[in-house]
A and B are shown apart, each in its own frame.
Chain A
Amino acid sequence: MARSKVFKHEERVAYLFLAPGIIFFLLFIAFPILFSAVLAFSEWNLFQGITGLEFVGLENFKQLFADRQFFSALKNNLLYVIFDVPITLGASLVLSYIIKERVFGSKVLRAVFFIPYVIHIVALAHVFKMFFNTNGLLNNALLGLGLADEPLRWLSRSDLLIYPLVALGVIGKMGYSMVVYLAALQNVPRELYEASEIDGAGGLKRFLKITLPMTSPTIFFLAMTMTIQAFQLYASVKVLAQSSMTTTFSVLVYELYTQGFQFYKFGYASAIAWVLFAIIMIVTAFQLWGEKKWVHYS
């Protein structure tokens, strides 16, 4: 029948269009995921070839949960996420709101805040490294101003490293977050603000009752993507912590890299990757639940 013939033709063309995507998907996503799942339950030194793969069941995970270094990395990662995302997001919201309405030269300001994002994270991290170095600028400033008696070892102490790390994360990402949020602010209908002015609502009330709910989808989007990225923290840690001799500060992806590409324990590293995935899933699920409760879609 003519109708199903047209459908068949359309279907064939559709598959043709989908082909490149499907090929790349199978090659670089589907197959690696399956392979990675197998690896998580195996012991493998990849440089010995596929024959060296040894299936060990839950051994990797058992080792993982008994590994103090891993838990330290997990703790650091969580700490980082808890500080970095809310500070970045909160500051972005407030600063974006101010830039939107209350200033001159908003375009210039927006560019200024965006610049650290354009400077590569590696370069920015090295600048921070020099700044926070034990004989670096910050300590010299603190000593010079009399705010400290002796130089603080920001980069060599695991308990202090979190500060430069979070500072780096916030300054590096704020510009991006502000740009997205400013666009969302543009889309809040003016009439809402005008109506509230008639009702005599003050600035703060307008922010809480109009701005926040109307931009909540974007806030949620930012929170979700920034959290996921924060769990995948790597470059900052590698630059700030790696050559320091006295700290074994690590985060999840850094552990993955060390176990896999330095110790060649690729099975163990894959297990770490899957734990990372699980954590991200749990946190994202939690955020999606929050979305149902707090996010307003008109």
Chain B
Amino acid sequence: MKKSRFASKIFFTVLMGAIGIVFLLPLIWMASSSLKYPLDIMRFPIQWIPGDPQWSNYTYVFTRKLYPIGHIYLNSLLVAFGTILGAVIISVTSGYAFAKMRFRGKNFIFMVYLATMMIPVQVTLIPRFYMLRQFGFYDNLLALVLPGCFYAIGILMMRQFFMTIPMEMTESGKIDGAGMFAIFLRLHLPLIRSPLAALSVLVFVTSWNEFLNPLIFINSPENFTIPLFLNALMEAAVGVGYEYHYAMAAGVVGTLPLVIAFIFLQHFFVESIATSGLKN
């Protein structure tokens, strides 16, 4: 490597590192503040490592009977996995039909599905609220799972993928006398591991990040998902008594597991998101 090239690389690395630290600051400040007294949090210059760590802040967060953190984590996970299950079933079956089968109305239905991607979710929010409430799903986690199962992007992804499988495979299956269903099960299905993983990650992230939906459909704290928990606890802490320390501790508890999971599964996350952007 030429000397100037090397020097330039070092320069940019340091520069990016500095900018990167700005991006890490919210997380670091949150973690550091979670162990302080409220007044110390806002102090400038910032004391990054608290001299007298208040681990009791965390005890406070964990003992909030009104917001059982373990149960709430479970809720978020259940909703995410439920949505993934539904979305995968619908995306794979619909995508496969669009890619590999011939039938009347194929283009029409596909166009309609695509058109729905244009419609912001807020348009259907109120009718969905009324409908699910009438069906008795208010304050029920299923209200968060069911609508999410129709994931147009997923159908698109699966269709694209199945279209890349050459027709020869289907033809040879037909020659062997297999019916469409058998062809699907034995020949095509085993191949979708990779796009399926990408789809699952996307659905998981979408579901996990939902805020407006859970806010509207869920009422009781024991049915909260993580975003609702974070909002409730952080809002209560700050609004009532300037209890910033509890708010920060709640923030850490709510977000740390995902950060850790991300650090270990980075490759997974990043690949899925990157390819979903490229497919377009």
Contacts and interface: CB of A to CB of B under 8 A. Distances in A.
A155 to B, nearest CB: 11
A277 B150 CA distance: 20
Interface in A15-49: 15, 17-22, 24-25, 27-29, 31-33, 35-36, 39, 46
Contact of A32 (B15, B96, B128, B239): B128
Contact of A126 (B42, B96, B230): B230
Interface string B202-216: 000000110110001
Contacts of A104: 9-10, 13
Q: Which of B106, B118, B277 is packed against the most chain A CB atoms within 10 Å?
A: B277
**Interface magnitude class on chain B:** 35 or more
Q: Could you tell me the dominant secondary structure of chain B's interface residues?
A: helix
A56 interface: no
Given A18-B93, A111-B263, A273-B126, A28 B254 contact: no
A80 interface: no
Interface in B111-139: 112-113, 116, 118-131
B197 interface: no
A14 B102 CA distance: 7
A10 B101 contact: yes
Given A15-B103, A112-B24, A261-B216, A234 B211 contact: yes
Contact of A115 (B27, B101, B181): B27
B270 A144 contact: no
Interface stretch (A156-164, A174-182, A189-197): A174-182
Nearest to A46: B130
A115 B23 contact: yes
A213 to B, nearest CB: 16
Interface stretch (A64-72, A81-89, A94-102, A204-212): A94-102
Given A13-B180, A184-B277, A39 B116 contact: no
B247 A126 contact: yes
Contacts of A29: 116, 119, 124, 150
A222 B277 contact: yes
Contact of B280 (A107, A130, A176, A221): A221
For the complex of A and B, 7 pairs with smallest distance between CB atoms = A183-B274, A180-B277, A32-B127, A32-B124, A21-B94, A35-B127, A14-B103
Given A10-B101, A130-B244, 20 more contacts: A10-B103, A24-B146, A28-B147, A32-B131, A99-B16, A116-B23, A119-B26, A120-B227, A121-B211, A126-B251, A127-B30, A127-B248, A130-B42, A133-B42, A137-B41, A137-B44, A183-B277, A184-B277, A221-B280, A234-B212
